[in-house]
Amino acid sequence: MSDSPKKKVIVIGAGFAGLSAAASLAQAGYAVTCLEKNEVPGGRARVFQAEGFTFDMGPSWYWMPDVFELFFQKFGKNVSDYYELVRLDPSYQVLFGEGDIMEVPAQMKDLEEMFESLEPGSGQKLREFLKQAAYKYEVGINQLVYKPSRSLTEFIDLKLLVGVLKLDVFQSMHKHVRKFFKHPKLIQLMEFPVLFLGALAENTPALYSLMNYADMALGTWYPMGGMHKIVEGMVQLAQEQGVVLKLGEEVRNLEFSGGSISKVITSKGAYDTDVVIGGADYHHLETKLLPPAYRSYSDKYWNERVMAPSSLIFYLGINKKLHGLQHHNLFFDEDFGPHAEEIYTNPAWPKKPLFYVSVPSMTDPSVAPEGKENLFVLIPVAPDLEDTETIREHYYQLVMARLEKLTKQQIRPHVIYKRTYAHQDFIKDYHAFKGNAYGLANTLLQTAVLKPSLKSKKVKNLFYTGQLTVPGPGVPPSLISGQVVAQEVLKEFAPQEKTLAV
């Protein structure tokens, strides 16, 4: 063991990607300090309490449990050491209209029977579809997304080049789904998961049918206590590795020496550093903290990126129990196709929005007072829109009227707590580019090496992680992103103490 001082790493942002990178590098022998702008860690997965309710502020779906398990296992731990998972059954439900509800069962046999009831022969088609999707998941999640995507040469040894047609990289999800299914409800169900990727099925490579495998084969889970329990577990893990977490310290400036960042200046102090990892908004870090000579991408480049949607969110406390809802509820009572398109191609507020409702108190009594309900209502909307209280209230009344009609109950008179969250909040809290909620859309031209690089092209010791770089948006990809950037730092700035677990 060397007696020389440990190399210092500053991680900007304590979201999933930042915490993942911080823990990984601390394990490898770096002296890691994680600087978080907000008073609560977690980034978009923050939490707040009000009137006895506990609200997860962002992510609410727990998919790909193997990604979380693998992360904790790298530290000799298990997910169960930090939080308790339960599998939801039904996984979720889709409301197509009054009395027209599809509950998506957790068990494959029941799922195949549901498909068969809508379209004879589709049960077998589902098996074939998911067999292909399982292969894509194995290659995509276990190999492809763990690549840093800094050069095409990284993929030469992958099945990606051997079986590129098998992975359907150049076919759209739209076409791929329709090769298997004809019934409109089944098509909508199979296309729904790509909404998490921030793009329409027409523009998303069919490689991402791996999301259907994650949905239907691996299941929908929930960490008891809420999604923030994952963050709490990751913070504890990081601190066990020696990470120093500083909350309420926004990075304000950077000092340079010889083409590298030498010091990070925050609202409360200054930190010498050998390496910097930007886990905050990539665009903000580039355009607000770096002088023009040190920026990798132009304003034109950023403005030409296809962004994933933003969100209008309502956090609601209800003073009674509700019926007709599950933990996760998708409202496709308006025509899914054209109205889904509105949030990607039409730079305006949608006329008939899709929306999603989560009621975690139906699974977890700890997130609401007894006899009450915790309601999270999300409307996906285009980024970079005018965001006013008047607009927010209009959409609140619009979707709540639909929710009440479809579930045949009054809800608005029973709301005892209400908080709204949209573009301006994403910008204020996270410096989110154009007020986006999810990062870059996973289109073919914004995949792998075509995303903003995880390594600065101009600053020798600056790296990036999170939803605007590889592998992309979502909680599991962000968790992976932190591990990938840690490996890249290790290659270029080897520490004195240990080697990174793989």
Q: In the prediction, which pLDDT does 150 show? A: 87
Is 77 inside any structural domain? yes
Are 314 and 420 within one domain? yes
Are 380 and 487 within one domain? no
Are the C-beta atoms of 207 and 163 separated by less than 8 Å?
Answer: no
DSSP class of residue 453 equals P
Is 424 inside any structural domain? yes
Are 447 and 299 within one domain? yes
Using left for φ > 0, alpha for ψ between -120 and 50, and beta otherwise, residue 137 falls in: alpha
Are 312 and 410 within one domain? yes
Residue segments in the chain with a per-residue pLDDT below the cut of 70: 1-3, 154-165, 196, 336-337, 496-502
Q: Which two tokens stand for residue 106?
A: 């957790």
Q: How far is CA 173 from CA 302, 396, 440, in A?
A: 26, 32, 18
SS3 content of the chain, % helix, strand, coil (to 5): 40, 20, 40
Report the CATH number at residue 272: 3.50.50.60
Are 250 and 185 within one domain? no
Angstrom distance (rounded) from CA 428 to CA 433:
11
What tens digit of pLDDT does each residue of 34-76 get? 999 999 999 999 999 999 999 999 999 999 999 999 999 999 9
The domain total for the chain is: 3
Is 354 inside any structural domain? yes
Are 172 and 279 within one domain? no
Are the C-beta atoms of 199 and 441 separated by less than 8 Å?
Answer: yes
Is 436 inside any structural domain? no
Is 22 inside any structural domain? yes
Closest C-alpha to 312, from 417, 418, 411, 222: 418
Q: What is the DSSP string of 77-114?
A: --GGGT--EEE-SS-EEEEEETTEEEEE-SSHHHHHHH
Q: In the prediction, which pLDDT does 502 show? A: 45
Are 377 and 449 within one domain? no
Q: Which of 172, 190, 218 is the last residue of a domain?
A: 218
pTM over 0.75: yes
Q: In the prediction, which pLDDT does 162 show? A: 54
Residues 6+ away with beta carbon under 8 Å from 385:
310, 347, 348, 349, 423, 435
Are 340 and 413 within one domain? yes
Q: How far is CA 419 from CA 253, 376, 413, in A?
A: 32, 10, 15
**Which range marks the domain in which residue 175 is found?**
109-218
Mean pLDDT, the chain, rounded, equals 93
Are 300 and 311 within one domain? no
Q: Which two tokens stand for residue 121?
A: 């022969």
Q: Which two tokens stand for residue 11?
A: 């991680």
Q: In the prediction, which pLDDT does 161 show? A: 53
Q: In the prediction, which pLDDT does 157 show? A: 59
